[in-house]
């Protein structure tokens, strides 16, 4: 009798191991497929480019009325083929890019915040979902606060690397992100990084007065895990949000102050 019970137990254990192994392999292959899907998108729809800026050169003060000297400085950026992207999915409204990081993805806006939580940019099922704008936000970025969501994936895809902003050293090397649209690039400078709750006021996007918006920005800076030294200018902000591994409601966010719009070059 004991031998029969032992054999049954071994069979059940083997069955559990087989089922667990099946789901582990299925999940792993899903992650591999989804990573390749977005890597292919980056290759197909974007191209590296250089943004050339004219930076004033410091020189001794003089009485000369000549304009100050300038030198050219190159910054890493992207060009995006939005015509090709929108032929895949009309819900694609922008491309989010943080130079020097893994974050380079199309941004979608659905009819609810569930639309792309487990749906890839091409409409296929994906556990990692998509990077997406809160459906209540205006796609023209006219809201005081625009919220962008992404999953915290263990393989660092989507917003899996966003939590690196817990480190001030990391922030120092990645303080700017670009929200690229068919019209041009919206540049944001990160001014706060904080842990919050899914239902907190961090996700408010419209405010009753300029004073209320100013208080919102003060709150973000107050709870930031470090002082960035960035003084927001009172214009609109963008909040990037992801979950954490601690519990179901905890979130990690970075908030960026809009600092510049660079229109796309038009052909003469």
Q: pLDDT tens digit string along 130-184?
A: 999 999 999 999 999 999 999 999 888 999 999 999 999 999 999 999 999 999 9
User: Which residues touch 262 (CB under 8 Å, ≥6 apart)?
Assistant: 51, 184, 185, 187
Residue 93: inside a domain: yes
* SS3 assignment, position 41: helix
Residue 202: inside a domain: yes
69 CB burial (10 A radius; 0-12, 13-18, 19+): exposed
pLDDT of residue 229: 95
Number of domains in the chain: 1
- Structural domain of 192: 77-263
pTM of this structure: 0.84
The answer to whether residue 13 scores a pLDDT higher than 70 is: no
pLDDT of residue 248: 84
For residues 197 and 250, the answer to whether their CB atoms sit within 8 Å is: yes
pLDDT band at 259 (very low <50, low <70, confident <90, very high): very high
For residues 172 and 233, the answer to whether their CB atoms sit within 8 Å is: no
Residue 44: inside a domain: no
Residue 189: inside a domain: yes
Residue 57: inside a domain: no
Residue 67: inside a domain: no
Separation of alpha carbons 145 and 141, rounded Å: 8
104-117: pLDDT as tens digits: 999 999 999 999 99
The answer to whether residue 264 scores a pLDDT higher than 80 is: yes
Per-residue pLDDT, averaged over 10-23, amounts to 57
Residue 28: inside a domain: no
Residue 45: inside a domain: no
pLDDT of residue 56: 59
Buried b (16+ CB within 10 A) or exposed e, 134-144: beebeeebebb
32-73: pLDDT as tens digits: 677 888 999 999 999 988 877 655 565 555 555 666 655 666
pLDDT of residue 29: 47
Report, in this order, helix, strand and coil percent for the chain, each rounded to 5. Answer: 30, 30, 40
CATH number at residue 146: 2.40.260.10
């Amino acid at each position: 009798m004991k031998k029969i019970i032992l054999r049954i137990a071994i069979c059940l254990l083997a069955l559990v191991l087989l089922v667990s192994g099946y789901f582990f392999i299925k999940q792993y292959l899903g992650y591999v497929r989804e990573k390749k899907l977005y890597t292919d998108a980056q290759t197909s729809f974007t191209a590296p480019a250089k943004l050339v800026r004219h930076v004033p050169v410091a020189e001794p003060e003089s009485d000369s009325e000549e304009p100050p000297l300038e030198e050219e400085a190159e910054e890493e950026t992207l060009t995006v083929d939005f015509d090709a992207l929108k032929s895949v999915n009309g819900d694609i409204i922008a491309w989010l890019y943080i130079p020097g990081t893994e974050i380079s993805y199309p941004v979608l806006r659905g009819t609810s915040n569930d639309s792309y939580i487990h749906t890839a940019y091409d409409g296929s099922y994906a556990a990692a979902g998509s990077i997406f704008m809160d459906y209540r936000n205006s796609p023209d970025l006219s809201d005081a606060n625009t919220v962008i969501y992404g999953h915290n994936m263990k393989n660092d895809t989507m917003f899996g690397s966003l939590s690196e902003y817990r480190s001030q050293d990391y922030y120092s090397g990645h303080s700017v992100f670009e929200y690229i649209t068919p019209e041009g690039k919206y540049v944001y400078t990160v001014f706060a990084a904080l842990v919050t709750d899914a239902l907190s006021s961090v996700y408010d996007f419209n405010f009753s007065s300029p004073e209320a918006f100013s208080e919102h920005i003060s709150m973000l800076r107050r709870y930031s895990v470090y002082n960035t030294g960035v003084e927001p200018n009172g214009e609109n902000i963008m909040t990037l949000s992801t979950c954490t591994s601690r519990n179901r409601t905890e979130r990690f966010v970075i908030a960026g102050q809009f600092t510049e719009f660079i229109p796309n070059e038009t052909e003469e």
